[in-house]
Amino acid sequence: MPARATVTVDLGKITENARRVREFLPGVDVVAVTKVTCGAPEVARAMLAGGATAIGDSRLENIERMHAAGIEVPFWLLRATPPALATDTVRLVDVSLASEIVSVEALAAAARAAGVRHGIIAMVDLGDLREGMLPAELPDFLDAVAALGDTDLVGIGTSLTCYGGVVPDEHNLGELARLAHVAEERVGHPMLVSGGMSSSIDSALAGHLPPSVNNLRIGESIILGVSTVTRDPLPGLHTDAITLEAPVIECKVKPSMPIGVIAQDAFGSVPVFEDRGERRRAICAIGRQDAPPTGLRPLDRRIEVLGASSDHLLLDVDDLPEPPAIGQTIGFVPTYAATLALFTSPYVGKVFVGAE
């Protein structure tokens, strides 16, 4: 029983999830995305064991950590690099996503100095309004990259659902397929068509993924086992590969309504409460500094998350037959947002089990 809040990662379940996702996507290369786990090498290995062909991350620090752990596969940088980091990017990464020619110019110069070639995925914005050039800008971008040398235009890609919530469908993925065909004719060679992230799995399962889409960048669905469109479980995937345990530090019967004049809480909001009479509540040693309370689902459905301060998580445990003991841990399954925060928090332990 851990003495502090601890995340446990079942690597066997992540490997099984990766294999299942590969079965959903015949003919599609999967770039496994590790950023939600801060580039944990253990997670990267588990995803590769499940059939991923490359690793993608948005932070050079994470990629360097995986290199240091002895992972030598193609690495993709999933965030455009600032020109000042071009040398580090070329040293650590094989393929970069790009939409600004000034960044590609810096990468080309760094590649020339290092005596290597660097791959570029031209990112096109198809409506989600995160990154990517507009489709009309693509021809000039392709010509500019081709003129630079020292970089190879290896593909065209898009991001959907992550910012604007736009769902991949026959229209936007069909437009990506059309742009890819135009790009291939212009550059004179076949290219990867990177049709988005985990949200494109739903399109594949519905039979709407264009045949030309031959690459996806997938993290959340492998790690958490859910659709990123609906957050419902995907068929046959584990949704509990990552769990959290946090120890109870107080358990008492208290009123459900605060006593006194209510002003702002520690985070600038005015809280609203429902008077349910006296209820037994527990406090766990974890808080908003570690994860958003709305992203923590108790494994025991009789427990209700009430809220949190920076380092206290308040739970209603009145429906449990016995009150939890002090020091006993409560288990949770985190959402994507909570998983991201938990792995980033230095105050949360990380344990890896079940590697194949």
DSSP category for residue 55 = E
From 88, 94, 142, select the one nearest 118 (Cα to Cα): 94
User: Which residues, listed in sequence order, are joined to residue 57 by a DSSP beta bridge?
Assistant: 77
Token pair recorded at residue 345: 């928090």
* DSSP designation for 294: G
Residue 13 designated active-site: no
**Helices (DSSP H) in the chain: which residue ranges?**
11-24, 41-49, 60-68, 86-92, 101-114, 138-148, 170-187, 200-205, 220-224, 336-344
Which of 13, 35, 252, 350 is labelled catalytic? 35
152 φ, ψ (degrees, to nearest 5): -120, 125
Give phi and psi for 261, each to the nearest 5: -75, 130
Of 244, 232, 219, whose CA–CA distance to 343 is shortest? 244
Alpha carbon distance 77, 93 (integer Å)? 6
C-alpha span between 242 and 219 (Å, rounded): 13
| Nearest of 294, 289, 297, 298 to residue 267 by alpha carbon | 289
Q: At what angle do helices 170-187 and 138-148 cross, to 10 degrees?
A: 40
CB atoms within 10 A of CB 297: 16
Catalytic residue numbers, as ranges: 35
